[in-house]
Amino acid sequence: MDATEILRLHNIKKTPGRLAIIRALQDSTLPLSENDIKLKMNEFYDRITFYRNIHTLTSLGIIHKIVVDNTLVKYALNCCDHEHHHENEHAHFYCEDCQEVICLDQVSIPVVNLPGGYKIKDKDFILKGKCGHCNH
């Protein structure tokens, strides 16, 4: 599905910035940092507009944010099919050698049973170590 169709499916305005963010993420097999996306956006990058668009795209479930630590945040496109189904409840792996973040779509976030009165707002499940490539 192309970027224009994704925005249309979610009933949000098609803007050059939103299209550039989605296309940058579509062109990558790995999650991207703001700087990675900025380089792909070229003249469509504006820091304030970028963060507004990231917030919009995240709140609609089009992309998801991966917070590795205080200094490293990456973004990935969620799978979206014509039935409007998003898959983003998965683990992520951070390789301490190559510093890549990998979406582990096949690894679900474990269910956590909280005491009464607690409500989960966000779930981040990040595993850290060496990826398969760096571990050889």
- Would you say 33 and 76 are in contact if contact means Cβ atoms under 8 Å apart? no
Nearest CA to 34 out of 14, 16, 55, 15 is that of 55
pLDDT of residue 79: 73
Q: How far apart are CA 31 and CA 92, in angstroms?
A: 10
pLDDT of residue 98: 94
Burial 86-125 (b: 16+ CB within 10 A, else e): eebebbbbbbeeeeebbbeeeeeeeeeeeeeeeeeeeeeb
pLDDT of residue 86: 47
Query: Residues 89-131: pLDDT tens digits?
Result: 788 999 999 999 998 888 888 888 899 999 888 778 899 999 9
pLDDT of residue 81: 53
Q: Which domains does the chain have, with CATH numbers?
A: 3-129 (1.10.10.10)
What is the pTM for the complete model shown? 0.83
pLDDT of residue 80: 58
pLDDT of residue 134: 95
Query: Residues 9-33: pLDDT tens digits?
Result: 999 999 999 999 999 999 999 999 9
Residue 52 has pLDDT above 90, yes or no: yes
Q: How far apart are CA 5 and CA 106, in angstroms?
A: 26
Residue 36 has pLDDT above 90, yes or no: yes
Burial 15-37 (b: 16+ CB within 10 A, else e): eebbbbbbbbbeebeebbbeebb
pLDDT of residue 127: 93
Query: Residues 57-88: pLDDT tens digits?
Result: 999 989 999 999 888 999 999 875 544 444 55
